[in-house]
Amino acid sequence: MFLSSYTSKSWIKAAAFVALVLAVAGTTVAFADSLVVKTADGKVHGKTLNSGKVRAFEGIPYAAPPVGDLRWKAPQPAKPWKQELDATKFGPHCAQGHFFDDMIFQDNGMSEDCLSLNVYTPAAASKAKYPVMFWIHGGGYTGGGSDEPRHNGDFLPTKGVVLVTINYRLGVFGFLATPDLAAEQGGTAGNYGMMDIVAALQWVKKNIADFGGDPNNVTIFGESAGSFAVSTLMATPSAQGLFHKAIGESGGALTTGPLTMSPLSVAAPKNAEAMKPLGATLAELRAVPADKIIAATSKGGEVRFSPILDGKFLSEPVSDVYAEGKQAKVPLLAGFNRDEGYFLANGMTADKWKATSVERWADKAAAFLKLYPGTSDTEAVRSATDFGGDQFIAFGTWKWIEIDRRTGDKDVYRYKLDLAAPPSKFHVGSYAFHSDDIEYIFGTLDTRPGAVWRDEDRKLSDQMMDYWTNFAKKGDPNGPGLPEWPKYGEADPVLHLDNPITARPDENRARYEFWLDSEKK
């Protein structure tokens, strides 16, 4: 009733006066309309987080629902909307089986209709556009989602960046390749999940300026499969020009390992065999409910669905692209964690380690044991942890860093997370384990169930957030108040993220060269 007595002109004057008074008093005000942003597809209405310090726009479609006839096809444009879109809650995470206990979701369930993204911006306006950090979640290309609490956008934007987190198709829905699909799609098939990531990057290029982000300063970053994706996108022609810096955390798609890429000619027959019980034709397969497909393809693990050399999206091995210097020439920050392979050390003894080494490496066992010694049970446990981590993640990440240093023509920064995190609900013992870095980088330590954090953890988290956002801003992680992070050059300096942070030459290069030599043979 009170507002109705104002004319529209009087209300505008009154609002301007209040804003002026609050500005003089040093108070930052975000009026309601600052939570409404017009995208190319329609208006979205967001919310604030972190006591009003961050604007959040969640569940924004960046492509059409990949369902029905669009299942196992390249992402198509989202249908524009006329009404204001409620962007205050997450969209569904992509259809997937249960693979990882520590993946917790905040949405209302999973769905094939999952191609959405979230945008988080500093609430304070800036005359200059903010750098954009584009997060690709991990999960072996089979699990995960943008709405996991550890990826929350409450804190990273307070460092002066716009954060984008995305969903992309996973497992059989994201990477199925069969001869029938190849025939339908002009001789190529698979990689739909990777195409989704490129479509999301194209959405960013088209829309992020309306959220205060700089489309000409985009950093892609990801962990595990997300890091494999970052290294792959650098070698993907359709992704070139959509990002300007890259960060890889524990993973590189340049070697054999858990996410090795197969040629279409190898993957397609295996995939077709796995799908045979579900239907004889593509029309039949596209009519099968998602849960039945998940149940049928999650048994036994005989077939793994992940990126392949399909002849179009990826026309040659990623390692060849880098060796030839044809990857995106962008600054790179990458590394891994100290205890990526701690799971291999369970029950290890000196005698077991020696026997395992001789069995695995035969005539190379003596050289292997010099690099991974086991003269005592304690030493054997440490070496088994190192070996497991090198085989699983570290060597592939090192190879990516090493090749890009030689052929990328841009600055490279390398790290190793050494600080052992305290035990938590899903991680017994104190390790710098695989995925341990995520909560540190996002400032979301308190989302990890059961962990009792120390002062050194919170300090390191703040330092890592500064390093990562500094890199996004200017391609150099260094900044005021931080220990110096030298470029990765002839002296092989590695920044050890620990208490305290130190930089020193690579202490394990001989191990990675051993793997490199073994790979060649």
Please name the residue that has the structure tokens 């609430």.
123
From 224, 231, 306, 319, the catalytic residue: 224
From 93, 137, 434, 496, the catalytic residue: 434
Q: Hey, what are 211's tokens?
A: 């959220």
CA-based nearest residue to 88, from 110, 107, 109, 111: 107
CA-based nearest residue to 432, from 464, 478, 474, 480: 464
Q: Is 137 a catalytic residue?
A: no
Q: Do residues 310 and 191 touch, judged by C-beta distance below 8 A?
A: yes
Neighbours of 499 (CB within 10 A): 14
Q: Is 224 a catalytic residue?
A: yes
C-alpha gyration radius of the chain:
24
From 58, 249, 340, 402, the catalytic residue: 340
Q: Is 484 a catalytic residue?
A: no
**What does the DSSP assignment read for 405-474?**
HHHS-S-EEEEEE-PPBPPBTTB-S-B--TTTHHHHHHT-GGGSTT----HHHHHHHHHHHHHHHHHHHH
Phi, psi for residue 130 in degrees, rounded to 5:
-75, 145
Residues 6+ positions from 453 with CB-CB distance below 8 Å:
422, 445, 446
CA-based nearest residue to 83, from 39, 48, 44: 44
Please give the positions annotated as active site.
224, 340, 434
